[in-house]
Amino acid sequence: MIKKINATLSEKLILIFLLALAIFALSFTVIIKNKCLFVKDFNPQKINFDKPKNIVVLNVECGNVIIELYPELSPKAVDRFITLIKSNSYDDVAFHRVIKDKLIQAGDLEFGKKNKLNYGKIGTGKSGLGTINSEIDTEFDYRKGSVGLARTLKYNTEDSQFFIILDDEPLFEGEYTPIGKVIYGIKILEKIKYSHRSEYVLRPDFINTIRMYRIN
């Protein structure tokens, strides 16, 4: 015969406390692991754009980032960017260089692809289309969300790699070719994985897709 055990009030309270603590710990773990939980996503089809032909939708793990391009500022650079977008060249390419709250960089089409990531050479790859000249003569204010083409230490070496700044960078003005600005989704970009030890990220986040905006 099984004897019934009657728990005291204090024992019941301890049990309830332990159960609540376990639930809290589990919930906290889920929140920590889901970095996108409190980040607002954007549906471009629900937004009215003044210049829809200049709109790009960058899709990453946490959602859509909406970029407006500035072809009037840097026609050759924007044309290169659009050419690579239309060929789906940026799909599955790593955000290989990330400085927390400062900058994210992607676009190494040679060594940054998800299926052939090369940590020893990432950041040095090319598109195969050749370099283009820097377009830095027009005044441009590098505010938070600005998008530019990356280059080597020399001018006129822009190709496929691009960066987005997460803070104002006045020293970039007149140094890097601007191509546009993030108009929706900067908080999404702030969730891109970074390293505490280096600007270059081990097991980085990737671009899912980049597409020119189309009205459905």
Alpha-carbon dihedral 158, 152, 142, 207, rounded to 10 degrees: 70
Digit-coded pLDDT (tens) for 93-147 = 999 999 999 999 999 999 999 999 999 999 999 999 999 999 999 999 999 999 9
Provide the whole-model pTM: 0.84
DSSP-derived secondary structure for 21-80: HHHHHHHHHHHHH-TTTTPPP--GGGS--SSGGGEEEEEETTEEEEEEE-TTT-HHHHHH
Digit-coded pLDDT (tens) for 165-204 = 999 999 999 999 999 999 999 999 999 999 988 899 999 9
Digit-coded pLDDT (tens) for 45-83 = 999 999 999 999 999 999 999 999 999 999 999 999 999
- 94 and 15, same domain (yes or no): no
Which structural domain range is residue 15 located in? 7-38
- Alpha-carbon gap, residue 63 to 207, rounded angstroms: 10
- Alpha-carbon gap, residue 205 to 216, rounded angstroms: 29
CATH number where 66 lies = 2.40.100.10
Q: Specify if 95 maps to a domain.
A: yes
